Structure 1
Amino acid sequence: MTSPTTHRRLRIAAATAGLALAGQGLTACGSDTVSGAGDRVEGGTITYAHVQEPPCIFGGWIQQAYISRQVLDGLVTQDEDGSVKPWLATEWKVSEDGLTYTFTLKDGVKFTDGTPLDAAAVAYNFEQFEHTDLNGTAKVSIDPYYKKARAIDATHVEIALNKPYPQFLTLITQGYFGIQSPKALKTRTKEQNCEQPIGSGAFTVEEWKKGEEVVFKKNPDYTSWPSTAKHEGPAYVDELRWKFVADGVSRYASLTTGQTDVIYEVPTVNWKDAEQKFDNTIRYITPGKPVSFYINTQQGIFTDKLVRQAFAYGADRKGAVETGFHGVIPYEGNPSVSQSTPDYNSDAADAYAFDQDKANELLDEAGWSEKNADGVRTKGGRTLSAKLVYGAGFIFTSEGATVLQALQEQWKEVGFDVKLVPATMAELWGGKYSDPSTFDATPSYWTSPSPAILWIVWRPSTEALPNYNNRSFYNNEELSRTIQAANSELDPATATELYKKAQQIIQDDAAGIGLYTQNTTMAVANNLKDVWVEKSQGEPIFSDAYFVE
C-alpha cells in the first residue's frame, strides 16, 4: 500500500496472518482542499485487496468484470436509479419496432494503443461477442436476440436485433461488454490479450504477477469517463495495485494495519468493527441469480418433485444464513432472481419456510418411509443420498462453507444423507461436474442487472441447442414461453407480470432452492475518498478516488 506520509505502516499483524504486501511510497505532486476532508493529494498508489484471482483480466465471470472495468469502457452505464446513462455512447435511438439501436459515440476517443475507438471498433466487438469465445457471458446475454452490428460512419453504430428485447440496453451496462482494441484482438495472441487487454479506460495493465497482484498504471490521456463519474478527467492516482488475498483474516488485517487502502468481501464477523473504524463501508446486493441451489431434476433422488420440496423444507436455510454470516448477508428464498433484481417476485421468496414436519410428510408420501441404522431414509434398497458439490474458495468462502455444514446436519435430521464435495475452480469450470451423473445439487450465482437472467439460466437445454447454464437440467416449455414473452414484451407492466410468473413456476416446482444474496462488501481507509461501486454489478471504481491529508 502507498498513501500520504501520515499513513500507518504497521506490518506485523498482516505478516503474521500470512499476507505479504510490499510498501510503496507516495509523493505528493500537488494538493487541493476538499471540503470537510482535508487536502487532496495528487497521485499516489491505491492498494486494493480482492479475493479471487481470475484466469484472465477480462471474461465471463463477475470477478473478471470487476477487474476489467478498470481498463475497458462500455457503450452505456447504469445510474443508481437503474436508468441507462451515456458512456462511450452520448445518445441512442431505438426504432419503433424495437429491432434497431443506433448509438452516437464520443468523437476522438482512442484505445491506449493509439487506434481509434470508433463505430467500426464497437461493431467489431459486438460481432466478436456473438460469434467467438471473446466473452461467453456477453454472448448468452444477447442470444438469440442479437442479429448484427455495423458502423454507419465513424461516430454512429447500428445494432440490429432479431426480435424486440427491451432488456438489451440494461444488459450491455455490464462489465462483460467492455470494448477492446480490434487491432490488439487481431494481432496479439490470446494470452497477451488475456493478461494485458487494450481498452480506453482510466488505467492500463502494467504487470500481472500471478498469484500476487495486477499492477495498473494511470492512463494520462483518459477522455471517456462515464456520465456517472464523480469527476471529469484522468484518474487522480498514479497506480492501482490489485492484490489477491484469499484469506479473510489476512485481508481485513491488511486494512486495519495500513497495509491496504481498500478491501473487498469484508469478513462478516468483522463488519460491525469496519463500520465503526472506517467512514466508507459499502454493502451492495448484487442483482441476478442469487447464491442458490441448482437441483438435478434429470437424475438421482431429486427427479421427484416431492423430494425436492422436502429438501427445501428440511433445513433452516434462513437461520443458517443469518447465523453463518452474522446478520450481514441477507437470506434469499427466491432461487431464480435476487431481491435487488427488477421484477422480483417476493411471494415466491416466501415459499418453503423451515418445516421439518412438512419435509417428513413429503418424504413419506414419496415412498422414503424406512430408515437404516444411520437414520438415513431408504426406498427399494436405495438410500436418500445427495452429492452436493460447491466451489470452495471462489464461490464459497469459509463462512459460506460453514452455512453448508449447518444445513447438512439439519437435512440429516429428516433422513437425507448429504455429502458435501468441495470443488476447485479448475474442477468446477473444467467440466468435471458438468454431467447430471456427477452431482445432485450445486449452489452458485450469476450476476445480472436484468430479470432476463431467467432466460440465460433456465432456458431449456436440447440436443440441438444445449444450455450448459441450466445446471438443474430443468426443461419446462411453459417456463420457456413465459420468459421469451417477457423478454420481448414492450409494455413494462406486462413484462413484470410475466417475469414474476416465471419465477413462480421455478419455485412451485422446486427446480432451485434459495439460499443467500451475492454481495459486494468493501471497506475503505479514511484517507481515501470517492471509492464507489457501479450499479449494474457492483464493480469497484477507482478512477475517481484520491487521497487526502
Structure 2
Amino acid sequence: MARIAVLTSVAVLASGCWAAPPPQSSNATGERPPAGGPQRGGSLRIALDLDPGCLDPAVPSFVPSITRNIADSLTDQDPDTGKIVPWLATSWTVNKNATAFTFTLRTDVTFSDGTRFDADVVKRNFDVASELGAQLPAAATALAGYSGTTVHNDKKLTVRFNQPNIGFLQASSSRALAILGPATLEKSPQQRCQGELIGTGPFVLKSYVPDRGATLVRRKGHTWGSAARANRGAAYLDRIEYQVIAEAGVRSGSLTSGQVDIIDVAPQDEARFETGDTYLASHVQAGVVSTFHINHDHPILREKAVRRAMLIGINRKQIVDTVFTPRHPVATSVLSHTQPEYLDLSAALRFDPDSANALLDKAGWVRGPDGIRERAGQRLELDIILRGMAPVAELAQQQLRRIGIDLSIRQLTSAEYREAEDNGRFALSFSQQSRPDPDILRAMYSSRDINPYGVAPSKLDDILEAQAAESDPQARTTLVHKAQRYLIEQAYTIPLYEGVQVHAASTRVNGLIYDMSSTHIFTETWLSS
C-alpha cells in the first residue's frame, strides 16, 4: 500500500533499484556537513497522488515515508545486502528456536519531546501493540506470538514469543515496529493516525491536514542514524513539505514549473521527465506483488472454481502493456522476483480464458442474456474497492466480463478504504504489501494470524508456521516455495504485477535513497542552490 518514496543512490542495486547516481556523503557527528559536500538547508517539496490515510507507523499507509523519517527502529536492513544492522540497538542475540531476542540499546538517544529512550519504553511499545492487536495491524503481525518483554536494565531487554518467530529480527527493522515516545503510547489509535506522534527520528512532524498534506522539520542534534546510512547525523534539509495533488497533469505541471521537487509519475508521463531539468527514479518493491486480494468470507468467492477462473481469466501482460511501461514487471508469483525466496509460477498464472470459461460452465454458472453468468437466480457479480489505480481495475473489469463475471469498481477515500477492508465490506481489494521477508505471507494468508482476508484453515497454516520457525535459509526457502505454490493452486489471491515506485525529481535534488522496504529516507537528501 505504500506509494511515496523516491530513489536510491546507486545505478543498480540487488534490491531492484535504478536511479541517476547523486553524490554521496558521510556525517555521523551532527550539524555540520563535510566541506565541499552536501549543502544544508532548504525545503523539499513533494507532491502526492494520495493522502497517507493514517500516519501511525503500526498501520499500513499510502505514504510511509512520513513516519519512517520521524520514528526510528531497533535495527535497520541494508538495502544492498539485506543484512540486519544496528540502529537504536547496538547488538542482539537470538536463541536457537527463535523465541527470545535480546537487544542492547544505545544510551545517547532521546525522543523529540526530550524524553529519554531506554529499554522500558521499548517494552511499552511492544506491549501496547500486542494489546491493541488488529487496531495496529502492521505491528500486531510482526509481533505474532508475543508473550512479553523482560527489561534487564536501561539498555538491555529480551523480547519473548510463545512460538518460533524467525522473521522478528527483520521486523525489528521495519516501520511497523518503529519506537514511539511514552506520550504517544497514551494516545488512542485514532489520535495516532491523525499524527499525534513523538519519535526519535531525524525529522519532527509539524503539521498534518488529511487530504491536503503534511510538514516535517529537521531535528537538531540527531546523531544516532542507522548503520546502513552514510549520514548518521542530523539531516541536511530544513523541511519536507508534502502536498496532496490528485490530478496527474497538475502534479506534472507543478514539477516542470518548479513549484515542487518530487512527484508521483503516471506511466504515460514517464518519458517526459527523463531529460532536461528532471530525472526519473524507479525501484522494484520486495514483498507481495500488486494484487487483487480476495475476501474469502464473500459467499461467491468461497468457491474455488470462481477464484481460479478469475486467476487465469485476467490477462496480466495486457494490463502491464496498456497501463504501465517496461519498468513494471508482470507478476509471476505471489512474491516479487527481488525476494530471495521467490518461486517462478508464471505457467500457473498464464492467461487462459478458455479454461476459465470451462471452470465456470462446469460449476453451473450459465451466461444470461447480457453475457453475465447466473446460477440459481444469483448473478456472478463482485465488487472491488480501490484507492487510485482505476485503469488497472477497468481493464480487469473488461477481461472478467468476457468470461461472464460482472466486476463493479468502488473508488474510496483513504479512510473509507481502510474502514471497508477492516469490516469486510468488499469482494476484492487492491494493494501491494512491501516487506522484504517472506513471513509477510503468514500475516496475510494464515487463518491463525490476523487473517485480514478471511482465509479458511488449511495445510497452508502449517507451512507458514513452519517457515516462521525455520532458521536454516535453504530449508526456509523450500517451505516458502510450498506456500507460494499452494496460494496459486488454490487461487487464494490474484497477483497482477510487481509494485514499482516511479517518481520524477528536479535535478536540484541530490542524495535520495530508499530503505529495504522501498520507503524514502531523507537523512542524505540535499538541495543544490
* Same topology, TM > 0.5: yes
Q: Aligned with 2:207: secondary structure? A: strand
Which 4+ residue blocks in structure 1 deviate beyond 6 angstroms? Answer: 187-190
Instruction: Say if 2:14 is the partner of 1:33.
Output: no
CA displacement 1:488-518 (0-9 Å, x = unmatched): 0121111111111011111101121111223
- Structure 2 CA distance for aligned equivalents of residues 131 and 445 of structure 1: 26
Q: CA deviation at 1:235?
A: 1.0
Contact 1:58 1:67 in 2 (8 A): no
**Match status 1:361 vs 2:348:** no
Kept in 2, the 8 Å contact 1:269–1:325? The answer is: yes
Report the equivalent of 2:381: 386
Counting only pairs closer than 5 Å after superposition, residues 259-298 of structure 1 correspond to structure 2 as: 259-263=259-263, 265-277=264-276, 281-298=280-297
Q: Residue in 2 aligned with 1:42?
A: 40
Residues 293 and 431, structure 2, Cα contact 8 Å, conserved in 1: yes
**SS in structure 2 of the partner of residue 249 of structure 1:** helix
Distance 1:545 1:425, change over 3 A: closer
- In structure 1, the residue matched to 2:370 is 374
- In the other structure, the counterpart of 2:206 is 206
Q: Distance in 2 between matches of 1:476 and 1:411?
A: 28
Kindly indicate whether residue 527 of structure 2 is the aligned counterpart of residue 547 of structure 1: yes
Which secondary structure state, in structure 1, belongs to the residue aligned with residue 96 of structure 2? Answer: coil
Counterpart secondary structure, 1:221: coil
| 1:328 Cα deviation from its structure 2 partner | 3.4
Distance 2:288 2:459 in 1: 20
Q: Say whether 1:454 aligns with 2:441.
A: yes
Q: Quote how far apart the aligned CAs of 1:87 are.
A: 0.7
CA contact (8 A) 1:321 1:329 kept: yes
1:237 is aligned to 237
User: What is the Cα deviation at residue 184 of structure 1?
Assistant: 4.4
User: Normalized against structure 1, the TM-score is what?
Assistant: 0.84
Deviation at residue 228 of structure 1 after TM alignment: 1.5
Mapped to 2, the partners of 1:352 and 1:386 lie a distance apart of: 23
**Map 1:19-418 → 2, pairs under 5 A:** 32-34=35-37, 40-59=38-57, 60-63=59-62, 65-80=64-79, 81-132=81-132, 135-144=136-145, 146-186=146-186, 191=191, 194-263=194-263, 265-277=264-276, 281-334=280-333, 336-347=334-345, 349-368=346-365, 370-383=366-379, 385-391=380-386, 394=387, 397=388, 400-418=389-407
Q: Which has the bigger relative contact order, CA under 8 A and spacing at least 6?
A: 2
Q: Which residue of 2 aligns with 1:484?
A: 465
1:510 aligns with 2:508: no
SS, match of residue 253 in structure 2:
helix
**Structural RMSD (CA):** 2.6
In the other structure, the counterpart of 2:6 is none
Match of 2:432 among 440, 445, 454: 445
Distance (Å, rounded) in 2 between the aligned partners of 1:175 and 1:273: 33
Deviations 1:159-178 (A, max 9, x none): 12222222111122111211
TM-score, normalised by the number of residues in structure 2 = 0.87
Counterpart of 2:62 in 1: which secondary structure?
helix
Corresponding residue SS for 1:276: coil
Secondary structure of 1:228's counterpart equals coil
Percent same amino acid among aligned pairs?
Answer: 26
CA 172–332 in structure 1, closer or farther in 2 if over 3 Å, else same: same
> Which runs of 5 or more structure 1 residues have no equivalent in the other structure?
1-28, 35-39
One-letter amino acid of the structure 2 residue matched with residue 389 of structure 1: I
| Structure 1 position 531, deviation (Å) | 1.2
CA distance 1:421–1:195, change in 2 (3 Å): closer
Does residue 1:497 correspond to 2:496, yes or no?
no
What is the match of residue 434 of structure 1? 423
1:183/1:357 CA distance change after superposition, 3 Å: closer
Q: Sort the Cα spacing of 1:156 and 1:526 in 2 relative to 1 into closer, same or farther, 3 A.
A: same
Residue-pair matches, total:
495
**Is the contact between residue 73 and residue 224 of structure 1 (CA under 8 Å) also seen in structure 2?**
no
CA contact (8 A) 1:65 1:176 kept: no
Unpaired runs of at least 5, structure 2: 1-31
